Structure 1
Amino acid sequence: MPTMPENKSERIAALADQCVQCGLCLPACPTYALDGNEAESPRGRIAIAAALAQGRAPVTDELREPLDHCLACLNCERVCPAQVHFGELLVETRALLGPAPRRPRALLALAKRPGLLRLMRLAGWRRWYARLARWLPQRSGWRAALALAALPPPPRLRPGPAVTPCTPALARVALFPGCVASVEDAAAQQAAVTLLEAAGHTVMRLPAFCCGALDTHGGDTQAAARATGRVQEAWRAGGASALVTVTPGCIGQLRGALPGVRVEDPYALLVARADHLHFRPLHQRVALHLPCTQLNVARSGEALLTLLGRVPGLEVVALPPRCCGAAGSHLLEFPERAAALRAPLIEAIASLAPQALLSSNIGCRLHLATGLAEQDEAVPTLHPLVLLAQHIVPGHTS
């Protein structure tokens, strides 16, 4: 049995001791709903983590699997009366165990290289991905990745008339592009710049690289530490007073790397200037998916709804607040489970028959788009910032 580092073991045990085993987290846990198995619940995972950390159980595949299945959605934290820091406990336990044997290292290495992803898109390989995917088994992470890559290219932000920033100028903001998002969400990043500048902020872009969230949640502490150092170096060179990202999945990692720095998604800054931003009418019905990280980490769901509510004629229907199953690398490690978790949301979207689907997290949006494509549901998907930027009224916003 592997020897557990004493400081990590003690920290995990202390976090686990906060749990009063009340079970109020069970109805909020998507994997418990999927399996009906106590081990696949927050309460069960806390017990497993404590047993492993204290040496009361050996590290086996059977005990490790429920920890690997966890989506880190943090729904349990939101409802926990004892305020257990489950996210921290999960990260510490995964760091203690190290990367899972089935972790798709090659796929994740590719995902963390935006330059290579951009080159692959320019090479026109997308049209071959769907054909290649059909030759791979259903459980293959490569099949899931190719299905994502085969989706139509993300929409470009249509250039519109210039929007004059309101005065006086507000805080200088740094935009963190990330890795996959820097390629697949380029339109959302340009939209963030357009809207933030219209609200009075000066925006600068940091270099595109992985924030380290994939490594942190995968138990690769050395790679995560290197990413943290890179984030800190880029932040110091930027000279900004706040950091934003269009990907809620990066926010927790960036906050951990930059304690004391204001790290938000753009909605938090934009809603503070909502009265200065005006939008053209859009008579459409859209479905809104709020990613778990937006609800439980960024906590900007209400801010986004407020901004969308300022678009005249726009009908926004929020989908049920449940995890879609993407969860970082989860959709690559456990594609069948990810598809099962996604299924109720696909059904809900189909029943609404919206003219578009909005979601802020690139992994969630690609995962949902793949599910819609498999069901022959022709629903365009886009980042909410793109919709807002496309309909902002040109000219003075103040």
Structure 2
Amino acid sequence: MMNRPEEKPPIRIAALADQCVQCGLCLPVCPTYALDRNEAESPRGRIAIAAALARGQASPTAELREHLDHCLGCMGCEKVCPANVRYGELLVETRALLGPALQRPEHEIGLVRDPRRWRRLRRGLGWLGFAGWKSALAKSLPARSALRSALALWPRTPLPEPYLAQPASDKAADGDTVALFPGCIASVEDADAQRAARTLLRAAGYRVVELPAFCCGAMDLHGGDTARAEQAAAQVSAAWQDAQADHLVTVTPGCVGTLRHVLPGVRVADPMALLAARAQRLSFRPLPTRVAVHLPCTQSNVARSDDALLRLLRRVPGLDVAPLPKPPHCCGAAGTHVLEFPERAARLREDTLRQVAALAPRRLLSSNIGCRLHLAAGMQNERDWPHQHPLVLLAQQLET
């Protein structure tokens, strides 16, 4: 939600903070509070910090700001809040008031948000045998270096074939048109998930149109870079208007909240929700194997499509579907958090991987490309599971 013209940002932040009744029900679902057991690392602690900053009762020191920047934006607190505090909105407004953090890794973020540059870099370093000397390069960098963190996330799989848009299908059962938003890095690294979404949506009777690949602005919106986030918002709005569609979907749940923020009133969804609504039109071949399902925070708490995803997977005969326990504590990727705070991200990832290991899967599924790359970076030896987007598995098993 954007500010009303008559409201200055500090007034808006203070009003949002006043909705909090300080009950503490958010504490058990907050992953950063679980890490530190520190009120300043909890939702209600951050709300108090935001209110003090907005009212001029505190100065934005580096130490105070760090508590806000540690927030993963998982929105678990919003889901359980009895007072319906709009915590995500408050966090975005406060970071916009403060502006981007000084330690924000702009170069690395710039590469991620530009799919053309990312693909060229992946292709060029592949030709140079990057996999063979990546580890040596990473070890030469400081432990908290954003570049070292980015190297750890570097995909171990070959560069996927480019995702090529296709003409929209005119064969729809009820005329609903779905616009598929590819995003930035996901348009490259999750190109197979884009193709899978297109296949499944058309099989379910939707007409699919495809938007160009670019960043929705999520990383900038949540990082306090208002100007760049507004540029991305204008691009999203223009692409949506051109699409002339009924629904907007993305295979990356991390984009859903930002797309809803930019396009209020538009039906923005995870493809899983639309597919689950027409699940009776989809038949799948048997797959007798056990899969662990990591449910990204944004899928559970923002898109709220986790139940739809599990229902679809359970329609695959023989598939033993084992979701990670709830409440889902963040794996630590959280957009740019993994680049800015790699040590904290690694601790959260280890907790997640222990949960996966306890399920003894043959394969790991996760819908968010950032989560999958982060989890893969922590896998080794007996915990090195094949991993993929759930849409890819569903499309592979689809009866055609």
Q: What TM bracket, shorter-length normalisation?
A: over 0.9
Contact conserved, 2:171 with 2:207, CA < 8 A, in 1?
Answer: no
Name the CA distance, whole Å, in 2 between partners of 1:315 and 1:104. 40
> What is the DSSP-based 3-state SS (H/G/I as helix, E as strand, rest coil) of the residue aligned with 1:372?
coil
Structure 1 residue 167 displacement after superposition: 5.6
Q: Deviations over 1:330-365 (max 9, x none)?
A: 000000000011111111222322111000011011
Structure 1 residue 378 displacement after superposition: 2.2
What does residue 24 of structure 1 align with? 25
Contact conserved, 1:165 with 1:197, CA < 8 A, in 2?
Answer: no
Structure 1 residue 376 displacement after superposition: 5.5
Amino acid at match of 2:16: L
What does residue 326 of structure 1 align with? 333
What does residue 388 of structure 2 align with? 382
Instruction: Give every structure 1 segment of 4 or more consecutive aligned residues whose post-TM-superposition deviation is greater than 6 Å.
Output: 154-157
Give the percent of matched residue pairs that are identical in Structure 1 and Structure 2: 63
What does residue 317 of structure 1 align with? 322
Name the CA distance, whole Å, in 1 between partners of 2:70 and 2:190. 27
What does residue 161 of structure 1 align with? none
Structure 1 residue 105 displacement after superposition: 0.5
TM-score (ref. length: structure 2): 0.92
Name the CA distance, whole Å, in 1 between partners of 2:305 and 2:294. 13
Name the CA distance, whole Å, in 1 between partners of 2:88 and 2:303. 14
What does residue 255 of structure 1 align with? 260
5 Å-filtered alignment, 1:266-345, equals 266-320=271-325, 321-345=328-352
Contact conserved, 1:319 with 1:349, CA < 8 A, in 2?
Answer: yes
Alpha-carbon spacing, 1:130–1:101, altered in 2? closer, same or farther (3 Å): same
What does residue 145 of structure 2 align with? 140
Q: How many matched pairs?
A: 383
What does residue 244 of structure 2 align with? 239
What does residue 79 of structure 2 align with? 78
Q: 1:371 aligned to 372, 378, 385, which one? A: 378
1:361 equivalent to 2:368? Answer yes
Name the CA distance, whole Å, in 1 between partners of 2:345 and 2:19. 30
> What is the DSSP-based 3-state SS (H/G/I as helix, E as strand, rest coil) of the residue aligned with 1:56?
coil
Name the CA distance, whole Å, in 2 between partners of 1:370 and 1:220. 28
Structure 1 residue 83 displacement after superposition: 1.1
> What is the DSSP-based 3-state SS (H/G/I as helix, E as strand, rest coil) of the residue aligned with 2:321?
strand
Name the CA distance, whole Å, in 1 between partners of 2:273 and 2:301. 14
Structure 1 residues without counterparts, runs of 5 or longer: 158-163
Contact conserved, 1:166 with 1:276, CA < 8 A, in 2?
Answer: no
169-178 vs 82-91, greater mean Cα deviation: 169-178
Amino acid at match of 1:393: E
> What is the DSSP-based 3-state SS (H/G/I as helix, E as strand, rest coil) of the residue aligned with 2:287?
coil
Structure 1 residue 377 displacement after superposition: 2.2
What does residue 10 of structure 2 align with? 9
5 Å-filtered alignment, 1:26-175, equals 26-123=27-124, 124=126, 126-127=130-131, 128-153=133-158, 168-175=173-180
Amino acid at match of 1:326: A
Alpha-carbon spacing, 1:366–1:113, altered in 2? closer, same or farther (3 Å): same
Amino acid at match of 2:261: G
What does residue 3 of structure 2 align with? none
Amino acid at match of 1:386: V
Q: Deviations over 1:62-81 (max 9, x none)?
A: 11010000001011111111
Name the CA distance, whole Å, in 2 between partners of 1:76 and 1:387. 31
Alpha-carbon spacing, 1:346–1:288, altered in 2? closer, same or farther (3 Å): same
1:200 equivalent to 2:205? Answer yes
Structure 1 residue 129 displacement after superposition: 3.0
What does residue 160 of structure 1 align with? none
Name the CA distance, whole Å, in 2 between partners of 1:9 and 1:89. 10
CA-based RMSD of the aligned residues comes to: 1.8
Structure 1 residue 372 displacement after superposition: 1.1
What does residue 214 of structure 2 align with? 209
Contact conserved, 2:122 with 2:159, CA < 8 A, in 1?
Answer: no
Amino acid at match of 2:393: L
Name the CA distance, whole Å, in 2 between partners of 1:61 and 1:100. 9
Contact conserved, 2:160 with 2:188, CA < 8 A, in 1?
Answer: no
Contact conserved, 2:155 with 2:373, CA < 8 A, in 1?
Answer: no
Contact conserved, 1:287 with 1:358, CA < 8 A, in 2?
Answer: yes
Structure 1 residue 238 displacement after superposition: 1.4
> What is the DSSP-based 3-state SS (H/G/I as helix, E as strand, rest coil) of the residue aligned with 2:157?
coil
